[in-house]
Amino acid sequence: ATSPQAAATGATTEQLKQNIIKHLHSSLGTDVNKASSQAWWRATCAAVNEQVFDGLRNTQRTHYQQDTRALHYFSLEYLMGRLFSNNLHNLGLFEQAKLALAELGIKIADLEDQEEDMALGNGGLGRLAACFIDSLATLNYPAVGYGIHYEHGLFKQSFQDGRQIERPDSWREYANPWEICRPESVQEISVYGYVETVYDLQGLMKKVWHPGRIIKGVPWDIPVVGYNGSSVNVLRLWESRASDFFNWDVFNSGGYIDAARENIEAETISKVLYPNDETDAGKELRLIQQYFFCSCSLKDIIRRYKRAHGDDWSKFPQQVVIQLNDTHPAVAIPELMRILVDRADMNWDDAWALCQQVFAYTNHTLLPEALERWPVRLFEKVLPRHIEIIYEINRRFLAEQVDVLWPGDHAKKRKLSIIEEGDEPMVRMGHLSVVGSFKVNGVAEIHSKLVQSDLFPEMVALWPDKFTNVTNGVTPRRWLKACNPRLSKLLDEKVGTGWPVNLKLLSKLADYADDPQVQDSFMAIKQQNKADLAKEIKKLTRIDIDPTAIFDIQIKRLHEYKRQHLNLLHILALYRRILQNPDYDMVPRVFIFGAKAAPGYKLAKEIIYAINKIADKINNDKRVKNRLKVVFMPNYRVTLAEKLIPAADVSEQISTAGKEASGTGNMKLALNGAVTVGTLDGANIEIAEEVGSDNIAIFGLTVDEVKALHASGYHSHEYYHNNPEIKAVLDWLETDYFTPGKPGELSAIKHSLLEGGDPYLVLADFESYAKAQQLIDSWYRDKAGWAKKAILNTALVGKFTSDRSIEDYVSKVWQLTPCKI
Ligand code: 26V
């Protein structure tokens, strides 16, 4: 079966076969008789790359000739996952490749498993960046993603006696077939040193930065293939190396050892992704990472601009827009100022006006511990010229904006200052980002409201039009078409094949929600996906699960605010009910977790340990009679998500209201027909609006109720003393029931909920959560009723395609025009 796109490119199954064999010979130096799966995979990648590179050349030539305005997405993280089947799907070659390989005696799934995940991100923020660059290419918008070429991505997780063990991830140990090194585009950047004030011949003051270190940035390009043979954009990731130029001096003065050490130090910058999300560690290397990639990227953008426009800066804001993915790349703002004022000799006002037309900032979290602040002291050491520029930006902001609206109000100045005063003065990166950007957005309606009302209310008073919302989305190509081929086929039949690029078409499926035949097909597909997952679970954990049980899935980073421990307490309550009443009537349920904890986040690791220990006990307790199983899948990552999501019946989205900015897993699970158990938080609210209250189990305190409860004084002890089930399960954690001979091993959770004050209101929401879970149980007993809910979830979440998010950014922020290739 040749897809129309593939036919148009002239690629036939036969040609693909010949190409794969050709590469087996000429690129891999092996042949069909002795090639390993790895070699077959690499040969197939090489064959696919012939088309990828054609698209890349065409796209770059077209953008250059038409001198298009382009988006530059600045992100410390891109959680790409695997690219093999994604690229095949987007080129329209997947079915052909599958056939071609089958004729060669190779299973395509075996080749897919040869690829390491490209895990250059922590969680939601990094995966969002990956979905966005997919949509940008699909929608033919000129765009470049900029980031860091980490040698080691997010750590690999395993469990040892239930405890998380981290091992380094080496995704490109044996070379990655999708990346191209571009030595012709290296950049050099500076750090450390001191600033000298000099006067030129006219007596004008100039600042000269004498760097202490020069570092080379080597760009690696990863082609980003749009769906349906549209544009092929690039993700450009910078690798750090010691500068050749700089090392010469050291060599010449006889310092071989020093030179070698400097090599290592320079290479350290892009060595490893920081595995914390949300808690700001304030590490020097992290600041250097941020500056390194921002400076390399800005210089790259300026080099390209100058090729077309020479030294005329006037068109720069017309051609260039830069989106800051959270505050992590905010140092790009003073860096562009430095380039314009110190290097291009532009006056401050013109330079600042230009900057403010170029940058836009997305906020991804309200958690105070995640709001980035850097010690001024550290800035002075690493970026001595930038801290001066930040002071000047701040001085003018306070004098020309704050003092004009609130004359003489020193409290306001203290609150709004980019520099936080105190024993250790700090640079507030959020403030810097708002002041330096022309647009600021949150990532779901409620989150954007809270950004304005709680985080930056005075900034809204100063610039009401600066603030906006863009609700997140996910790419349906990866998160439905590629990961759930069975459901995709059904959708092709029922709503036509246009849904991957027009996800609202899925709403046609709602017409069939009551149709018994469609219900049967839909649930049969879910059942097959569950059977596949059950096999995978057996393979990875040795745990046997009943594939007809409810598959209840919570997959996301481990965080107190995401409340995996609320889920766990409810599991304990169910277990206790079963033990107290051997005939306790419940639909069999498998609770499945996937989550990595930041290596330094103690309580998160204790929660993982507790889930594993409790799982062990429950899974081996005969009295449970298979009503309850608990599985913690190790090493949760994009590739595992692709197996879990199509098999989910229930999606756990249970953060404390006001804490989860948006969530995107919630969208992926609903899209694949899972029913959400969720709080009114982040995008759950918008999902509920789309699917309707019959098709989602909402529970818990609202944002306003959370605020009111905190204001009136929250006492978690009261819930402990007033609810016997809560008391029993918390006390249970202190015994040695789950850790024989070692009482108290699981008590950290109880401690945080009682003595620790339960900052995320786990106990306050427990009862309401347990009721919502009862509702799920009763809903599931009605087979047709459940099928209808599942179908309506898939049918009604078309809003959450990242294509829609991108179109929102384009109309509200970026003002781009599509460029057909
Ligand atoms: C923060 C930090 C703090 C310093 C150390 C390194 C580091 C790395 C990442 C982060 C930010 C994490 C923020 C994040 O991932 N937010 C998530 O963004 C998703 C996409 O917008 C959103 O769906 C989630 O609700 C939000 O938690």
Looking at residue 263, its pLDDT comes to: 85
- Residue 772 C-alpha to ligand 1 middle, in angstroms? 28
Please give the Cα distance from 430 to 418 (Å, whole number): 8
pLDDT higher than threshold 80 for residue 281? no
Question: Relative to the CA of 655, which ligand 1 atom is closest?
Answer: 25
CA–CA dist 173, 115 (Å, integer): 11
What's the rounded Cα separation, in Å, for the pair 627 and 609?
A: 22
Q: What is the mean pLDDT of residues 48-55?
A: 96
Distance separating alpha carbons of residues 367 and 559, to the nearest angstrom: 12
Taking every pair of Cα atoms in the chain, the longest distance, rounded to a whole number of angstroms, is 93
Q: What are phi and psi of 522, to 5 degrees?
A: -60, -45
- Which residues are catalytic, by number? 364, 556-557, 562, 664, 668
Determine the Cα–Cα distance for residues 715 and 707; give it in Å rounded to an integer: 14
pLDDT tens per residue across span 73-117: 999 999 999 999 999 999 999 999 999 999 999 999 999 999 999
Which of 120, 122, 131, 286 is the pocket-test mutation for ligand 1 (most atoms within 8 Å of CB)?
122
CA of 164 to the centre of ligand 1 (A): 21
Residue type, 790: A
Counting Cα atoms < 13 Å in the Cβ hemisphere of 186 gives: 16
CB 431 within 8 A of CB 416: yes
Q: What is the pLDDT of residues 542-566, one digit of tens each?
A: 999 999 999 999 999 999 999 999 9
What tokens were used for 665? Answer: 């897993």
Per residue in 157-168, pLDDT (tens digit) is 999 999 999 999
Tell how far the Cα of 327 is from the centroid of ligand 1, in angstroms: 10
**Residue the block writes with tokens 């040193």:** 193
Tell me, using a 6 A CB cutoff, whether residue 219 lines ligand 1: no
Eight-class DSSP state of 560: T
The chain-wide mean pLDDT, for the chain, equals 96
Instruction: Tell me the CB-side half-sphere exposure of residue 239, using CA atoms within 13 A.
Output: 17
CA of 557 to the centre of ligand 1 (A): 10
Helix axes 762-781, 724-734, angle to 10 degrees: 110
At residue 758, the pLDDT reads 98
- Nearest-angstrom CA–CA distance, 323 and 440: 10
Residues of the chain with pLDDT > 90, as a percent, come to 93
Where does the pLDDT of residue 498 fall: very low under 50, low under 70, confident under 90, or very high at 90 and above? very high
What is the rounded distance in angstroms from the CA atom of residue 221 to the CA atom of residue 59? 14
Confidence at residue 375, expressed as pLDDT on a 0 to 100 scale? 97
Banded model confidence at residue 496, pLDDT cuts 50, 70, 90:
very high
661 CA to centre of ligand 1 in angstroms: 9
pLDDT tens across 228-253, in order? 878 999 999 999 999 876 555 655 66
Burial letters 73-83, b for 16+ CB under 10 A, else e: bbbbbbbbbbb
Residues 93 and 537: their CA atoms lie apart, in Å, by 30
* pLDDT score of 252: 65
Find out whether the beta carbon of 277 lies less than 6 Å from any atom of ligand 1. Answer: yes
* Closest to 87 measured CA to CA, from 103, 105, 108, 68: 108
Q: Where are the alpha helices (DSSP H) in 269-315?
A: 284-309
Taking the alpha carbons at both ends of the chain, their separation in whole angstroms is: 26
What is the pLDDT, as a whole number, of residue 249?
A: 60
Which domains are assigned to the chain? 67-82+117-372+382-394 (3.40.50.2000), 476-800 (3.40.50.2000)
Residue 8 has pLDDT above 70, yes or no: no
**Chain segment 570-611, per-residue pLDDT in tens:** 999 999 999 999 999 999 999 999 999 999 999 999 999 999
**What is this model's ipTM?**
0.94
**DSSP structural state of residue 655:** P
**Closest residue by CA, ligand 1 atom 4:** 280
> Considering only 160-174, 239-253, 638-652, 695-709, which range has the smallest mean pLDDT?
239-253
Region 187-216 average pLDDT: 95
Rounded to two decimals, the pTM is 0.97
Q: Is the CB of 821 under 6 A from ligand 1?
A: no
Residue 2: the pLDDT is: 43
Exposure letters 212-222 (e unless 16+ CB within 10 A, then b):
ebbbbbbbbbb
35, two tokens: 């090639």
Any atom of ligand 1 within 6 Å of the Cβ of 124: yes
Confirm if 631 and 546 have CB atoms less than 8 A apart. no
Residue 276 Cβ < 6 Å to ligand 1:
yes
